[in-house]
């Protein structure tokens, strides 16, 4: 199998998993700015082809759609694929280095906190979910 075709399949499966969970894909800098310049709470999932994205981050992100505390927006960008959108959304994450997969919680376009790759990779999904629940409770209630 051609490696590029394989990677396209992995990317498409990762995209589909997040959109089926109810996340809005942002694919351009304009889409990022339009959404983040509106008032409200936004949960951003930085998607990637990394194994920890597929096995830990995406299922954890999907679970959060069922949590009692809900932000106004659930969005996702795909690192390494939607470069313009990913670069732009990361420009809102002041004080944080690029990390994928990762999660960002924003209020009125201002970063509140992040859960970075090192807090996802090597952890059980339930541990990541618990970190997300704690962050939702702290920043989105």
Pick the catalytic residue from 32, 44, 50, 104.
50
In the three-class reduction of DSSP (H, G, I as helix; E, B as strand; rest coil), residue 59 is classed as: helix
60 is known as an active-site residue: no
Half-sphere CA count of 128, side-chain side, radius 13 A: 28
Residue 15: in which H helix or E strand, if any?
helix 3-20
52 is known as an active-site residue: yes
Pick the catalytic residue from 52, 62, 69, 111.
52
The CA distance from 46 to 3, in Å, is 23
Place of tokens 């089926």: 20
Angstrom CA distances, 51 to 3, 33, 66, stand at 16, 29, 24
- How many C-beta atoms surround the C-beta of residue 12 within 10 A? 11
- Active site residue ranges: 50, 52
């Amino acid at each position: 199998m051609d490696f590029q075709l394989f990677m396209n399949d992995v990317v498409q499966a990762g995209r589909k998993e997040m959109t089926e969970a109810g996340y809005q894909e942002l694919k351009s800098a304009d889409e990022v700015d339009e959404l983040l310049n509106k008032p409200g709470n936004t949960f951003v999932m930085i998607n990637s082809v990394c194994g920890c994205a597929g096995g830990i981050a995406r299922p954890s992100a999907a679970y959060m759609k069922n949590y009692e505390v809900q932000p106004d927006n659930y969005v996702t960008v795909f690192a390494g694929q939607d470069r313009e959108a990913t670069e732009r959304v990361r420009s809102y994450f002041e004080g944080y280095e690029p990390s994928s997969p990762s999660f960002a919680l924003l209020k009125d376009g201002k970063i509140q906190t992040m859960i970075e790759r090192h807090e996802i990779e090597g952890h059980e999904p339930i541990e990541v979910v618990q970190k997300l629940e704690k962050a939702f409770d702290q920043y989105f209630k």
